A and B are shown apart, each in its own frame.
Chain A
């Protein structure tokens, strides 16, 4: 089905026929055009307005240049080499529930300490698992609905909660926000939708696990979380992908809306396949994550980034309301030939808004690790505060660590403090550990974990432990 002939048929062939063959297969051949956008929308049975919204995004994307400002080097991505929709071959073969999910997938989740079987489910965590382009199941849906919490695939929410989707989709990250967000808006396949009603404290942690499986498939999920006035939710996101020689594209969009007095805590452990030691394969991760904080609301992003060949990601907070709080805690580890250009934006619009940025970058091997951030105090951000701490740890003499913080202030009463340091694991620290009987790899992992502690303590307990382990696994062989 993925032969050149079929591709040509879809792209250049008869419109109707293109659809028929595609529907039969359930996996689109590589290529991107308006028909592909229509196909995805039709496949999901979307209303007309959403199709138009997608098409507008697609047309916008066509006119946009590929952003070149990041400190990343990779061959240009051929967007016609990517398949934009992939689902299990037929519904009867595909996993209908989590019990039928690919054992490999389960094994990897278990290795991460996150069992997906309902009976082994972590107490108090509801899970939505997204497999390539579709959600394969959401747990604890009924229990959540009792509290009025909506947690379901976004493709389902389009039908069941159309007014909420229409009201909020694209309000934080507009279709034409940036190149990758425009692409996502055109072709997003699935993702999670969360709505927490007024005054409700979500009774359990919500989480989504993303998995890219099919070769040459891009994953373009879209997540929308709306926390209504005075509500609270903690959301966890995990990502994995199998090892493949070719690069795979991941361009997600996450939108958070924290209405007055609400709090959203969003944690990510990103472990997409980083490519092999020679830099072959791995995920290209171009993600737009942004939240809007209204009066007295709070959004906290915590991320542990160990995977992906390329990471381009700046989870941001627009502090629109007075007294809003934005936080960003990040650990980014790069090794081998991985490249990460990641950081955050804190846009202070309201009075007495506060933001905290703690970024820990660890570079090993021949990798490149960049912190890029923006702190902006608008003229009306009276008494706003920002504190930023950016630390880089270098392991070995062939890696690179960079810090590019943009700081813009237009209000005298706003206060900004930014500090950055660079260090390495010192010989003295290593010797102390080793003379106490700790082997060199363990010693490095202990020291690196200590370096990251300020960030790990922000993660929900289960994730914090796993993040530490993940780091340890990722550091294996990173030190000579």
Chain B
């Protein structure tokens, strides 16, 4: 589904990704871990098409097609979804209005039946329920005045409605208490299916207790240093990243 080969990428002229390789097949859940500044968020933002992140060389294939030249909305239409680490506020634009615009455009591009207003509302309420978000949030401005946890749940709620093929979760667990984490994990797990893949970027092992990955990768200094099963995460938790990056315990 996702095939990244020898990817080099720069942000404001500085090389952040330095030859990254990653293969994700349908049905798989991958966790990418790594110290701060290793390039985790760069990877997810670049995959979603953020303009500041420039591909210097290498390939990013989604379902066999190069997506590096696609606009962000084209990637969304293709089925790539990014749950943001810091979702931005859009004052005055209600969540529901926003979802309507998003779903209309995406479903049309995917050749799906458009939802009428009643269906949209029903589906949106259902999605809210799944992530324990009061449906009143649908009427409020997008992320406007939401707490950190509410913003994260709002991201998952949108994901449930958009049903992406590839979900990129950027530090979705940060800032969540254990109850909220379980709610978010439940939402994500409900999306797991044989034709869908999830890539989650995280700093902490605890998320992986609730969303159990098939593969764990360690990203440091712009490259995948080590890959393994979920037990690798436990090892990282105990030993930190130092043993991998050569700076013993420096950035645990």
Contact = CB atoms under 8 A, between A and B. Distances in A.
B75 A435 contact: yes
Contact of A451 (B81, B82, B91, B94): B91
Nearest to B102: A436
A437 B101 CA distance: 8
6 contacts: A434-B72, A435-B48, A436-B106, A437-B77, A446-B98, A450-B142
Given A429-B88, A442-B105, A434 B93 contact: no
Interface string B55-84: 000000000000000011101110001101
Contacts of B49: 434-435
The 9 closest A-B pairs by CB, nearest first: A450-B92, A450-B93, A434-B72, A437-B106, A437-B76, A436-B102, A428-B88, A453-B92, A434-B73
B246 to A, nearest CB: 35
Interface in A425-475: 426-429, 431-440, 442, 446-447, 449-454
B112 to A, nearest CB: 12
B90 A437 contact: no
Given A437-B109, A437-B162, A450-B141, A431 B72 contact: yes
A447 B94 CA distance: 10
Contacts of B26: none
Contact of A434 (B76, B141, B162): B76
Interface in A404-439: 426-429, 431-439
Contacts of A429: 88, 90
Interface of B: 48-52, 71-73, 75-77, 81-82, 84, 87-88, 90-94, 97-98, 101-103, 105-106, 109, 141-142, 158, 162
A422 to B, nearest CB: 14
A34 B222 CA distance: 82
A446 B73 contact: no
Contacts of A442: 101, 105
A448 to B, nearest CB: 9
B248 to A, nearest CB: 37
Dominant secondary structure of chain A at its interface with chain B: helix
Given A435-B81, A436-B101, 5 more contacts: A437-B73, A437-B77, A438-B73, A453-B92, A453-B93
A386 to B, nearest CB: 23
B105 A454 contact: no
A22 B246 CA distance: 96
Contact of A450 (B51, B73, B82, B91): B91
Interface in A349-398: none
A429, A432, A440, A446 interface centre (most CB from chain B within 10 Å): A432
B93 A449 contact: yes
Contact of B105 (A426, A438, A450): A438
A438 to B, nearest CB: 5
Contacts of B158: 436
A429 B97 CA distance: 15
A439 B108 CA distance: 12
Nearest to B91: A450
